[in-house]
Amino acid sequence: MIRFSANLGFLFSDRPLPEAIRAAKTAGFHAVECHWPYDTPSSEVRQALAETGLEMLGLNTRRGDVARGDNGLSAIPGRQSEARAAIDEAIDYAVDIGARGIHVMAGFDQSIAGGHCFIDNLDYACSRGAGHGLTMLIEPLNEHDAPGYYLRTTQQAADIIDDVGADNLKLMFDCYHVGRTEGDVITRLRNLLPIIGHIQFASVPDRGAPDHGEIDYQTVFSEIEALEWTKPLGAEYRPTGKTEDTLGWLT
């Protein structure tokens, strides 16, 4: 049976994180995930998770100086200390709330030096996370939404995972980003399944609910079930209006 996780970076984002967790439970989601929970005390998140029985699948490392245009730090030469502080912070928070995964954000740099920096920081993150049973995730972002982002394709991500060689480094396969950049989502899911750690989705091209657009998600979800994927799939779409009014696809 396909199960779903609410990404609280987008869904139920009009309320504090603990209340968003409770709303996701009420709506019928099986798990939750988030982007940057750090302004909320971990004790409040932990309490909401305990009350609802939901698991927090994962969270992101901080983007950096957002006002300056940062969108991750781990592939930015010269900012290794900031990147590793963000990794340490994410690990500590994840451990405290019982999350299982961390998306290590690369940032805006496409240089060779940025690639070396990313691999070094991922090696650090995987080494630190392994002791806590954490999976580190890397996610290619499409050029339309994140021009200049270091990690752009699933093949690039697969090569990095191979280079790092850590058992706890996996691909975050976002059907939306893959659909916009590479297409042929189902074939890529099949081929990349051994290195995928989490799957997310949204409509293409508008990143809305999965009940419209270029990708037939009924077919995609059926294929994922046939592949015997058992983890919850992450609904990471931008609601038009109240989240509750966009959940017809869930039922």
pLDDT in tens, 56-99: 999 999 999 999 999 999 999 999 999 999 999 999 999 999 99
Question: Tell me: the pLDDT tens digits for 152-199?
Answer: 999 999 999 999 999 999 999 999 999 999 999 999 999 999 999 999
- Catalytic option among 44, 214, 236, 244: 236
pLDDT reported for residue 78: 95
Distance CA 110, CA 127 (A): 25
Q: HEC profile for the chain?
A: CCCEEEECCCCCCCCCHHHHHHHHHHHCCCEEECCCCCCCCHHHHHHHHHHHCCEECEEECCCCCHHHCCCECCCCCCCHHHHHHHHHHHHHHHHHHCCCEEECCECECCCHHHHHHHHHHHHHHHHHHHCCCCEEEECCCCCCCCCCECCCCHHHHHHHHHHHCCCCEEEEEEHHHHHHHCCCHHHHHHHHHHHEEEEEECCCCCCCCCCCCCCCHHHHHHHHHHCCCCCCEEECCCCCCCHHHHCHHHC
pLDDT reported for residue 32: 98
Does the annotation mark 182 as catalytic?
no
Strands 101-103 and 58-60: parallel
pLDDT band for position 18 (cuts 50, 70, 90) = very high
pLDDT band for position 14 (cuts 50, 70, 90) = very high
pLDDT band for position 149 (cuts 50, 70, 90) = very high
Does the annotation mark 139 as catalytic?
yes
- Catalytic option among 139, 143, 223, 228: 139
pLDDT of 251 higher than 90: no
Task: Enumerate domains of the chain plus CATH numbers.
Answer: 4-250 (3.20.20.150)
pLDDT reported for residue 1: 87
